[in-house]
Amino acid sequence: MSGFLARLFVVSVLSSVAAQAVAHDSWISRNALRNAAGEWCCGEGDCFMVPANQVNVTPAGYRLQANGEIVPYNEVQPSRDGEYWRCKRPDGSRRCFFAPPPTD
């Protein structure tokens, strides 16, 4: 019985992750969002959600804790789902960054 529950848990987690990825790719891709250089933000597997507790607001921009990257405010686009998203190029450099609107 415990093997069945473990498999069920894994399937539900994978389904949740897949649903987030599909929803994300569709809103960015569907809206043909691009960065300031005109590059498409999102291709297959290019974008991922950054947990809010891994993002710090600094005077220079958003600091991503995972890699210490600072995203200047003038390079940030509004997130349509209220989450932080980072889209990358094949070499791992940032292509686009989405952040929820600031709250006062």
pTM of the model: 0.72
| The pLDDT of residue 87 | 94
Interacting residues of 64 by C-beta distance below 8 A, sequence separation 6+ = 50, 54, 55, 70, 71, 86
pLDDT of res. 7: 55
The reported pLDDT for the residue numbered 101 is 86
Query: What stretches of 1-104 show up as alpha helix (H) in DSSP?
Result: 2-30
Digitized pLDDT (tens) for each residue of the chain, 104 residues in all: 555 544 544 444 344 444 444 444 567 878 888 999 999 888 767 889 999 999 999 999 999 999 999 999 999 999 999 999 999 999 999 999 999 987 76
